Amino acid sequence: MEAVTVAITKAFAKLEETAVKDAYDALTTLIQKKFGEKSELAKAIENLENRPDSAGRKELLNEEIVAAKAHQDREITNAAESLIEKIKA
């Protein structure tokens, strides 16, 4: 799985922590700005938010990240890395 997918999926367990929530919101807002609020990638994130334990939705998110080439966008990968750092803290 791409780092962006890992960051988003692992964040759900710690969204009650302010730093994690802020980093998660920053990443998802950035994705919406770059790819659009109605993009397949944004929809995949929203669907996963509704069922965070769904393996199928995690896989779909990963597919949409690759299809949109979000994993190649430096700004997005930096935001994902920042989120992972907050999750580990």
Domain boundaries, the chain: 3-88
DSSP 89: -
Q: Can you give the pTM of this predicted structure?
A: 0.91
Name the residue among 3, 4, 6, 7 with its Cα closest to residue 83.
7
> Cα–Cα distance between 74 and 21 in angstroms, integer?
21
Helices (DSSP H) in the chain: which residue ranges?
3-11, 18-35, 40-50, 55-68, 74-88
Tens of pLDDT, residues 48-71: 999 999 999 999 999 999 999 999
- The whole-number pLDDT of residue 27 equals 98
Average pLDDT over residues 4-8: 92
CA 87 to chain CA centroid, Å, is 13
d(CA 77, CA 71): 6
